[in-house]
Structures are given as structure tokens and as C-alpha cells.
Homo-oligomer: A and B are copies of this chain.
Amino acid sequence: MSSVSIKEVAARAGVSPGTVSNVLNRPEKVAAATRERVEQAIRDLGFVRHGSASSLRAGHSRTVGLSVIDIGNPFFTDVAAGVEEVASERGYAVILGNSSGDRLKEERNLLVFAEQRVRGVLITPSGPDLTRLGQLKERGINVVLVDHPAERSDQCSVAVDDVVGGSTAVAHLLEADPGRIAYVTGPLAVRQCADRLIGAGQALAAAGRDPARALEEIEMSAMNARSGQQAAEKLIAEGRLPDAVFCANDLLALGMLRGLLQAGVRVPEDVSLIGYDDIDFASASAVSLSSIRQPTHRLGRVATELLLDECDNPASHAHQQIMFQPELIVRESTR
């Protein structure tokens, strides 16, 4: 219960509290001898700086807020791991908020972040309304958008090109010259799903096909394995199996794979299948899954570096909207 304060350290080292503070924050400003003495006192007493007092006086904390849509999704987990890594390296603490796709919860998270006076916020917005984020900015809290390109140039963002990703996936499927292709997706209101569809259309057009006829959209309400399997069962029941399937994420694809195999459909001989995200489990399934890899971990790392740079060097900081390119990973599920 005994909390050692800077005063006690000062007393033991025979200096003033101000000097201890200098040792902590600007070691070069204090003579080597005294510094050593203070550091010894700190060790002896087991002093640890009171973060709240520090940020109260200094006007800013050493924490960042991270708000993700679904911490249970391996995609966001990887992002979070990258964020935590960089933050930890630079002595920042990460406050985690899980919005579950719920606007209200997202608002509540942002409020908590504001109360904590976080230095900055990393957020994968759960909807298209970004006005709230502008308000944070007015409060002096920097914001970096994750997996969402910024619309304004006074803001940093890190994203992956979903149009290219969709196009790459379908172009790969087209190599085997399939007849009909199905696009199994989550709600098209989700930007990522919509962009991947646009990309798919582009690839078809580039191959001289009419997207409206060659591509069938199957929109599911959830983006999990169960939905994927339902989609498979539906296609089979209706007897209109396509030659190739592009799923908007790997969870859908894994469900689809299972549904197909259970019905005796061979993958990739009868149906070619490609997913999106390249989660770890994509390579572990019975027929390993071709997929579109995103630099998930880097997404988190770079976003955090951008944010911390903006915080620590506000003068020299140049806002950047970074767009990564996805990568095709070919495995067994495609011809």
C-alpha cells in the first residue's frame, strides 16, 4: 500500500524533487554523479512513477486507445498484436475497446478514451459516420483509421486495397476458365465486401466477361463458417453449383469448403474455392485454402507508428494515407 513518491526519492538522494523529475525525463540535463545517486535511490525505494500525476501535469498521457469491431476475429487479433507490439516498445499502454459492430458501444469506448485522455486513438470504424472522430481531434486526440482509408487529408489512415484484392482473387479463378463464378459475401453495406465485389467485376471485365452474367452474388448476414456452409447447402440444393467460388473472408470459405466436401463435391476438381484474409486456419483445413493475404500485423504496427509519430513530433509530422496491396496465396483449393 506504500506508494513511494518522488519526494521520498529526492530526500534519500539529497536533492530536490525537481531534480528527480529531470533524471526521469531529461537525464542529460543532470550531472552524472547526481544522476547516479538518484537512480540508486529509485532502485532502493522501488519507486515507480505515478502515471496519473504525470499526465495531469504534463498535459498528455502515455496511452493509446484501440477500438476494433470484433476482437474474436483473427484479422483484428493480428492487428491488435501489431499495435500492442509497437506501443509496448515505445512505452505506451494500449487501452482496448471492442465495439462488436455496435455504434453505441463504439461511442462508449471513445468516451472512455476521452476520459483517460489517451494520446491518440486507433480505430476501425464500424460505420461510415466519422463525425465523432473529428470531435476527438478538436480535443487534441489524434486519430488514425485502421483498415479504412481516410477521406480527409488531415488524417492518417492505413488500409489494404480491397478492390485489387477482389480483382486478384477472381483473376486467379479465371485462369482455369470456369463457367459461372459465385461471390459469397457478408452484408454489402460493409465497405470491404462491396470493394471486393467491385474488384471481382473488374477482373471479369478485363477477361472480356460480362460481370452481370458470369458472377452470382450470394449475400449472407454474417461472415462466419456457419454462413459459409449454409451458402454451400443452398447452392447444392438448388442444383446450380458454380465452377468457382470467391468468399469474402476465410471463415465463409471454410464453411463453404465443408459444405461442399460433405456433399461429395470435390475441391478443387469440381469447384475451385478461394477465400480472403489468409488466416492461420486457412492452411490447416483438409483442403488447404487459397486466399488473399493482407499484411494484418503490419497494418497494426504501421498505424501505431504513424499515430505515435504524430503525437511525438506534431510539427514535422506529415499525414499519410497508406494503402497496402494484398497478395495472392495459392494452395490446394484452386486449380
Instruction: List residues of A whose CB falls within 8 A of some B CB.
Output: 1-3, 48-53, 55-56, 61, 63, 66, 71-72, 74, 77-78, 80-81, 84-85, 88, 91, 93-98, 105, 108-109, 111-117, 138-140, 224-225, 229, 251, 254-255, 257-258, 261, 280-281, 283-288
Contact = CB atoms under 8 A, between A and B. Distances in A.
A88 B109 contact: yes
A117 to B, nearest CB: 6
A25 B25 CA distance: 34
Nearest to A4: B139
A1 B74 CA distance: 36
A286 B281 CA distance: 12
Dominant SS among interface residues on chain A: helix
A97 B55 CA distance: 20
Contacts of A91: 112
Number of this chain's copies in the assembly equals 2
A2 B84 contact: no
Contact of A225 (B116, B138, B284, B287): B284
A48 B98 contact: no
Contacts of A48: 111, 114-115
A255 B280 CA distance: 11
A139 B286 contact: no
Contact of A285 (B78, B85, B116, B286): B286
Contacts of A287: 286
A234 B52 CA distance: 55
A88 B104 CA distance: 12
Contacts of A284: 225, 229, 251, 254-255, 258, 281, 285
A122 to B, nearest CB: 12
A109 to B, nearest CB: 7
Contacts of A288: 258
A225 B281 contact: yes
A115 B225 contact: no
Contacts of A258: 284-286, 288
A71 B66 CA distance: 14
Given A115-B51, A138-B2, A98 B78 contact: no
Among A113, A255, A281, chain B packs the most CB atoms within 10 A around the CB of: A281
Given A2-B138, A51-B116, A258-B284, 12 more contacts: A1-B139, A2-B139, A3-B139, A50-B56, A51-B117, A63-B95, A72-B81, A84-B97, A85-B98, A88-B108, A93-B115, A254-B281
